[in-house]
């Protein structure tokens, strides 16, 4: 569905990404994991279309990406909500921009809020919400326009450990129920191993993909196993330690 082919990116002539090749098939949850500065956000900005692709090509459903579009829903670390609008009107924003009438967009937004566990919070203002609730609004907004692909940039980075785990569980349920392709960026190793159906490891200097692993812990959660049971499973711990060792090896190589 998403294909990144031989993509490189530069800032002021300096390579930030080098020859990135990545595919995301329908229904996959791809997590891109790497240390700060390896180019994760740059890659995401190319896929969202916020940055133009100058070397290589990115296509979604066969069409080259040439700018931002409603086929990609984006969730940021700092959720980017409008403080003067209430919850339901924040979620409805994308629908408003494409001309959906007020009744229909509020109905759709209300349904999305239910899916993210915020039923009853429609009339609240953003400043009345906790960090976790704001991220739920951000996810509902990104999904409201029914995008082909959901893109998330460090969405749970600012949350406490308990809320973070709740949000990981929510994301996996939404993934299971919607069947959407998801691409998530993180530097949290446990989060990456738990969520990913495909885990892509990146190295810095310039940013490259070093490894791709197929994992099934997120699918196990989606099929009904508990998060705690999965995260304490020796198979999960072994995979987490393997990824950790790869990240440390790369750090040593670049320090
Ligand atoms: N606007 C910019 N101008 C110049 N250099 C930039 C710009 N944005 C990013 N870079 C550089 O490009 C490289 C990749 O940055 P990027 O933000 O994509 O990495 P990242 O992996 O997302 O990091 P983090 O996890 O800290 O957000 C870094 O060396 C960074 O300094």
Write the residue with the smallest CA distance to atom 31 of ligand 1.
Answer: 37
CA distance 49 to 67: 4
CB distance 186 to ligand 1 below 6 Å: no
Structure confidence at residue 200 (pLDDT):
97
Burial class (CB in 10 A: 0-12, 13-18, 19+), 97: exposed
Residue with tokens 């040593």: 252
Would you call 156 helix, strand, or coil by DSSP? Answer: coil
Q: Taking the complete model, does pTM exceed 0.90, yes or no?
A: yes
Rounded distance from Cα 77 to ligand 1 centre (Å): 15
Domain ranges of the chain: 80-146
CB distance 197 to ligand 1 below 6 Å: no
CA distance 42 to 53: 10
What does DSSP assign to residue 50? S
Write the residue with the smallest CA distance to atom 12 of ligand 1.
Answer: 16
CB distance 40 to ligand 1 below 6 Å: yes
Write the residue with the smallest CA distance to atom 29 of ligand 1.
Answer: 37
192 prior amide bond cis, ω within 30: no
Rounded distance from Cα 66 to ligand 1 centre (Å): 21
CB burial string 62-79: b at 16+ within 10 A, e below: eeebeeeeeebbbbbbeb
Write the residue with the smallest CA distance to atom 1 of ligand 1.
Answer: 11
Q: Which one of 39, 45, 52 would you pick to mutate in the ligand 1 pocket, going by the greatest count of ligand atoms within 8 A of its CB?
A: 39
Residue-by-residue DSSP string for 172-220: HHHHHHH--EEEEEES-HHHHHHH-SEEEEEETTTBEEEEEEE--HHHH
Q: Tens place of pLDDT for every residue, the chain, 255 residues? A: 999 999 999 999 999 999 999 999 999 999 999 988 899 999 999 999 999 999 999 999 999 999 998 899 999 887 788 888 899 999 998 888 888 899 999 999 999 999 898 988 999 999 889 888 999 999 999 999 889 999 999 999 888 888 899 999 999 999 999 999 999 999 999 999 999 999 999 999 899 999 999 999 999 999 999 999 999 999 999 999 999 999 888 767 666
Q: Which one of 10, 34, 37 would you pick to mutate in the ligand 1 pocket, going by the greatest count of ligand atoms within 8 A of its CB?
A: 37
Rounded distance from Cα 39 to ligand 1 centre (Å): 5
Residue with tokens 């409008």: 82
CB distance 36 to ligand 1 below 6 Å: yes
The token pair that represents 4 in the structure block? 């990144």
Greatest extent of the chain over all pairs of C-alpha atoms, in Å: 57
CB distance 138 to ligand 1 below 6 Å: no
């Amino acid at each position: 569905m998403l294909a990144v082919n031989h993509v490189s990116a530069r800032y002021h002539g300096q390579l930030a990404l080098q020859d990135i090749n990545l595919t995301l098939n329908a229904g996959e949850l791809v997590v891109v994991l790497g240390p700060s500065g390896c180019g994760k956000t740059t890659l995401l900005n190319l896929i969202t279309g916020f940055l133009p692709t100058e070397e290589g090509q990115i296509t979604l459903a066969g069409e080259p990406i040439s700018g931002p579009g409603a086929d990609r829903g984006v969730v940021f670390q700092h959720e980017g909500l409008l403080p003067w609008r209430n919850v339901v009107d924040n979620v409805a924003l994308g629908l408003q921009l494409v001309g959906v009438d007020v009744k229909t967009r509020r109905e759709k937004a209300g349904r999305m809020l239910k899916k993210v566990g915020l039923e009853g919070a429609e009339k609240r203002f953003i400043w009345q919400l906790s960090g976790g609730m704001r991220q739920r609004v951000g996810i509902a907004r990104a999904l409201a326009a029914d995008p082909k692909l959901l893109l998330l940039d460090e969405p749970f980075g600012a949350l406490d450990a308990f809320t973070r785990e709740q949000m990981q569980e929510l994301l996996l349920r939404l993934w299971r129920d919607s069947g959407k392709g998801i691409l998530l960026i993180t530097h949290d190793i446990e989060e990456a191993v738990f969520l990913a159906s495909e885990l892509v490891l990146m190295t810095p200097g310039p940013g490259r993909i070093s490894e791709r692993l197929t994992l099934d812990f997120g699918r196990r959660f989606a099929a009904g196993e508990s998060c705690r049971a999965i995260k304490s499973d020796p198979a999960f711990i072994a995979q987490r330690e393997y990824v950790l060792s790869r990240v440390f090896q790369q750090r040593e190589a670049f320090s």
